Amino acid sequence: MTIADRLRWCVRGIGQLLITAGLVLLLFCVYELWFTGLYTKQQQHDLDKTLDRTWAQTPVTQKPDPLHPLAYHVGDGIARIWLPTLGKDVHYVVVEGVGRDDLKKGPGHYPTSAQVGAVGNVVISGHRTTYLAPFNRVDELHAGDPVVLETQDSWYTYSVTSETVVQPTAIEVTYPVPGHLGEKPTQRLLTLTTCNPKYSAKTRLVVRGLLQSPMAKLGGALPPALVAAGYGSRA
């Protein structure tokens, strides 16, 4: 075999190796962006049905009571989050817990953070690019935009107040009073966290909101933010 033949053989081998590596990478991307989404979509469907069934077992009260919510376990659906600014169909079931398996099901509520609607900081984390990417577009939320959380007996409309980027180690954003460990909270806050930038976990995007208007669920009426987005009655 001449030197030229060996060179052609090496080049051909490298080319085939690169093609194989490209196909493997492509298949991995398809799995990450499509198959994981199918998994979460099924999980969300099941959680949605279970949540309705659980809520139906307890009569709707006339007064929102975030201090005495239904008892949930890690992995259970506990609420729905609606992002009307991002589109009419942008809503997900929020699960209790932020472990790897929990976030595969949908956005996750930090168990040590405040209950939805309560004084303190309700912290919810979600994927941005895989597993249906529930928080893919939260960077499009701006000051004044509504984020609605639905519980068994109430609607809670939070208004976005800020959007910041922090390091993954910045756990102070989850404190009852963000940035002030041990301080007693007086406001009803919402914090959404997700990876940043897209397709990277280099930093964290933090969107913060302040509760504006709790509303008891009576007669199928919806909060103004959802009505304005074109939703009809859920009666």
Which CATH number belongs to the domain containing residue 71 in this structure?
Answer: 2.40.260.10
Which of residues 65 and 28 earns the better pLDDT score?
65
Give me the domain span that covers residue 206: 43-228
- What mean pLDDT is predicted for residues 87-109? 94
Report yes or no: 139 and 160 within 8 Å, Cβ to Cβ: no
Flag whether 189 is in a domain: yes
Kindly tell me if the per-residue pLDDT of 33 is higher than 90. Answer: no
| pLDDT tens, residue by residue, 128-154 | 999 999 999 999 999 999 999 999 999
Flag whether 38 is in a domain: no
Which helix (DSSP H) or strand (DSSP E) does residue 45 occupy?
helix 36-56
Q: How far is CA 229 from CA 60, 116, 208, in A?
A: 24, 22, 21
CA dist 95 and 118 (Å) reads 17
Residues sharing a CB contact under 8 Å with residue 116, sequence separation 6 or more, in sequence order: 66, 69, 78, 79, 109, 122, 149, 151, 156
Flag whether 3 is in a domain: no
Kindly tell me if the per-residue pLDDT of 87 is higher than 80. Answer: yes
Report yes or no: 44 and 94 within 8 Å, Cβ to Cβ: no
- Distance, first Cα to last Cα, the chain: 81
Kindly tell me if the per-residue pLDDT of 181 is higher than 60. Answer: yes
pLDDT confidence bin for 65, thresholds 50/70/90 = low
Kindly tell me if the per-residue pLDDT of 225 is higher than 50. Answer: yes
DSSP string, 102-141: HHHHS-EE-TTSPPTTSSEEEEEE--SSSTT-TTTTGGG-
pLDDT confidence bin for 66, thresholds 50/70/90 = low
Flag whether 97 is in a domain: yes
Please classify residue 69 by burial: count the beta carbons closer than 10 Å to its beta carbon, then call 0-12 exposed, 13-18 middle and 19+ buried. middle
pLDDT confidence bin for 68, thresholds 50/70/90 = low
Flag whether 134 is in a domain: yes
pLDDT confidence bin for 35, thresholds 50/70/90 = confident
- Measured at the CA of 143, the angle between CA 140 and CA 148, to 5 degrees, comes to 75
pLDDT confidence bin for 167, thresholds 50/70/90 = very high
Domain tally for the chain? 1
- What mean pLDDT is predicted for residues 91-109? 97
Flag whether 178 is in a domain: yes
Flag whether 164 is in a domain: yes
Flag whether 2 is in a domain: no
